Structure 1
Amino acid sequence: MKIPYEYAVIQAVPRIERGELINVGVVLYCQRQDFLDARTHLDPDRLRALDPAADVPAIGAALAAWGRTCAGGGPSAGMKLGERFRWLVAPRSTILRAGPVHMGLAEDPAAELERLADLLVR
């Protein structure tokens, strides 16, 4: 049986004034299965094509924090999964941000996250 889920693409925008971005991950939330996780992939060459001075290690570290937040690390420790997802996808003006939230149906949220990461990021 397919169940609903929500997801957003994680985007890197190294020079906000130019508005150029690359997809660097996907975060997926499935309330029915108490599932929240992110898959990320940062391609340094693609990032530097947008901004040769981009601090790749710092951006990579910030990207890793998305996974820790999904797992309940740091300030998100006391939040429910849905609250964490909403916090991650809330609009922000930083180098990393979430695109629009989309909905879908899948039997296995973890497998769907991998499929979306392959399709949209890797």
Structure 2
Amino acid sequence: MTERHFTRTGQGGDREVFEYALLRVVPRIERGECVNAGVIVYCRARSFLAALTHLDESRLLALDPRADLAGVRAALDAVEGVCAGGDSAGQAAADAPGPRFRWLVAPRSTIVQPGPVHTGLTADPAAETERLLDLLVR
């Protein structure tokens, strides 16, 4: 499969295609209830991959008073580490941002799950990551 690179020039300057997915905490998988707890953003044209997280403990505990907050935080921190690369990425450190993003957004049946991947256009992927966290999580 070949990835395509698109750039849109117009009002506001050059904008690049980016992809993003929400990180959801599903404390009781059998119930299917979730709390949005982060966002992963990938922009191939800029070799950008980042995750920002924010865990609203009170919302999570409302769904499951016995939720493992420390475990959830560790899982969210691990996603941020894989995105950041380097030593914090573990075995994924050798991978380029694209394969790391694809691995992170692969469907899984765990407490911290990625949502579907969406796309958009941005001139600033880092600012887009903050904007999406504010809009969809906080």
TM (norm. structure 1) is 0.98
Q: In structure 2, what is the Cα distance between the partners aligned to 1:43 and 1:56?
A: 10
SS of the residue aligned with 1:19?
coil
Q: Which residue does 2:99 correspond to in 1? A: 83
Equivalent residue in structure 1 for 2:62, among 32, 40, 49: 49
Q: For 1:21 and 1:86, how far apart are their aligned partners in 2?
A: 22
Whole-Å Cα distance in 1 between the matches of residues 127 and 71 of structure 2?
29
Q: Structure 1: which 4+ aligned runs deviate by more than 3 Å?
A: none
Q: Distance in 1 between matches of 2:16 and 2:137?
A: 23
State the secondary structure of the residue aligned to 2:46: coil
Deviation at 1:57, TM superposition (A): 1.1
1:64 to 66, 77, 82: 77
Identify the structure with bigger relative contact order (alpha carbons < 8 Å, sequence gap 6+): 1
- TM-score by structure 2 length? 0.87
For residues 56 and 118 of structure 2, the distance between their equivalents in structure 1, rounded to whole angstroms, comes to 24
Counterpart amino acid of residue 21 in structure 2: A
SS in 2 for 1:32: helix
Report the AA paired with residue 19 of structure 2.
Answer: E
Whole-angstrom distance in 2 between the partners of 1:120 and 1:75: 30
Q: CA RMSD, aligned part only?
A: 0.6
Name the structure 2 match of 1:20: 33
After superposition, give the CA deviation of every residue in 1:50-88 in whole Å (9 maximum; x if it has no partner): 100001011111110001000221121111100000000
2:35 is aligned with 1:35 = no
- What letter matches 1:96 in structure 2? V
Match of 1:27, SS state, is strand
The percentage of counterpart residues that share the same residue type is 59
Aligned residues: 122
| Counterpart Cα distance in 2 of 1:71 and 1:110 | 12
**Is there any run of 5+ residues in structure 1 with no aligned partner, and where?**
none
Deviates more, 1:72-81 or 1:26-35: 72-81
